[in-house]
Amino acid sequence: MVSIGIMNTQINLRMPQKLLSSVKSYSDEHGYGSVQDFIKETVREKLFDEPEISKEELALVKKLAEVTEKKKLYGTEKQLFEKLRRR
C-alpha cells in the first residue's frame, strides 16, 4: 500500500504474548481488519476522545434520549446527554 501525499511512520511495539493474544481476539471479534487498525483507533479515541459514530448509532442514541425523556428517566434530553458525557 502506498500513501500519496501523506507520510506514515512505522513503529515497533512489544507486548506480552498473553496481551497480544487478547488484542488479536478482540480485534477479530469486533471486526477490525488487523491488530494495527485496532491499536490506531484506540490511540485516536484516547487522544481525541471523539470516537467516530455512524448515522445508525446516532439514530439509536437519539431514540434512547427520546424514550428516556418520555419516561422521565433522566429528565430532559439535554440532561441525559450531560450525564452520558460525564462517563
Please report whether residue 40 resides in a domain: yes
Please report whether residue 1 resides in a domain: no
What are the cell numbers at 2? 502506498
Identify the DSSP state of 87: -
pTM above the 0.75 mark? no
Find the domain containing 42 and state its range: 16-52
Angle at CA of residue 70, ends 73 and 52, nearest 5°: 75
pLDDT 10s digits, 12-65: 999 999 999 999 999 999 888 899 999 998 998 888 876 567 788 888 888 887
- 1 pLDDT band, cuts 50/70/90, is very low
User: Which residue stretches of 1-87 are H helix?
Assistant: 17-29, 35-48, 55-70, 77-85
In angstroms, the CA 31 to CA 69 distance is 33
47/67 same-domain check: no
| Domains identified in the chain, total number | 2
58/47 same-domain check: no
Please report whether residue 4 resides in a domain: no
**Any idea which residue has 506480552 for its cell?**
16
85/65 same-domain check: yes
57/68 same-domain check: yes
Please report whether residue 46 resides in a domain: yes
